[in-house]
Amino acid sequence: MPLPSQFADRVREGEKVAFGLRPDDIFPTGHGLHSGAESAVYDLTLPVAITEPLGNETLVFVEFAGREWVARMLNPRALKSGEQLKMSFDLSQAHLFSVETGKSLAI
């Protein structure tokens, strides 16, 4: 995943950072809204682990980089465990933290 542009001058090469996004900022492509510019949205195809239907939306759990991520799917459709799904990450809403200090790298 690329470094979000708003952090380009805050991260040193080789520095370890923790990356986070809220479920509203991760969504199956075409089933969510992004807050930033279209160019800040990064798409990646990932396997569906499980889903949690909530009526007008579904929480979709996907596996990425050895971790489980939760996404919010608006206007849901049925999904199957193991299905490969194109996911959109709104990097304009990303949060980065220094692994060394635990401090936010926000501007």
| 92 located within any domain | yes
Distance CA 29, CA 96 (A): 23
Structure confidence by residue, pLDDT tens digits, 88-103: 999 999 999 999 899 9
Distance CA 4, CA 69 (A): 18
Cβ–Cβ < 8 Å for 26, 67? no
Between 46 and 31, residue with greater pLDDT: 46
Distance CA 106, CA 70 (A): 22
Q: pTM for the complete prediction? A: 0.83
Domain region containing 57: 22-97
| 28 located within any domain | yes
Q: Tell me the CATH number at 38.
A: 2.40.50.140
